[in-house]
Amino acid sequence: MRRRLISGSSPYEGVAGFSRAVVAGDRVHVAGTAPIPVDGSPPPEGAYEQAALCLEIIGAALEQAGSSLEHVVRTNIYVIDRAHWEEVARAHGEAFRDVRPAATCVVTALLDPAWKVEIEAEAVLP
């Protein structure tokens, strides 16, 4: 099976040895995506804005891979507090209202205390 690596702008990719996404066969696996703006500025404050940024970064990686948000079949969402769920769900719903991928949400700690959410995705190639 051929593998193709998709790089992003996360400062952690080289340090931790991961890719933003990996294309393997007809699948695109997008790594856990934190709300890290491309320009390196601090993440947005709100959970909705952070989730929207995560999804924007995921969408860009999928496009580089030859896919898109409309081809996402699974998401894993990690939030630091269940109180953020509704705002994160709103952003997720706006991105996937018609796509409706299988989704999981877990309450957990994240690497940076400024992050309220991190999202992973798996898509198919069209």
Q: Which of 81, 75, 74 is nearest to 108 (CA)?
A: 81
- pTM listed for this prediction: 0.94
3-state helix/strand/coil string of the chain:
CCEEEECCCCCHHHHHCCCCEEEECCEEEEEEECCCCCCCCCCCCCHHHHHHHHHHHHHHHHHHHCCCHHHEEEEEEEECCHHHHHHHHHHHHHHHCCCCCEEEEEECCCCCCCCCEEEEEEEECC
Q: What is the CATH number of the domain that holds 84?
A: 3.30.1330.40
Q: Tell me what pLDDT residue 33 has.
A: 96
Query: Model confidence over 45-92: pLDDT tens digits?
Result: 999 999 999 999 999 999 999 999 999 999 999 999 999 999 999 999
Query: Model confidence over 10-28: pLDDT tens digits?
Result: 877 888 889 999 999 999 9
Q: Tell me what pLDDT residue 9 has.
A: 81
Number of domains in the chain: 1
Provide the domain limits for residue 20.
3-124
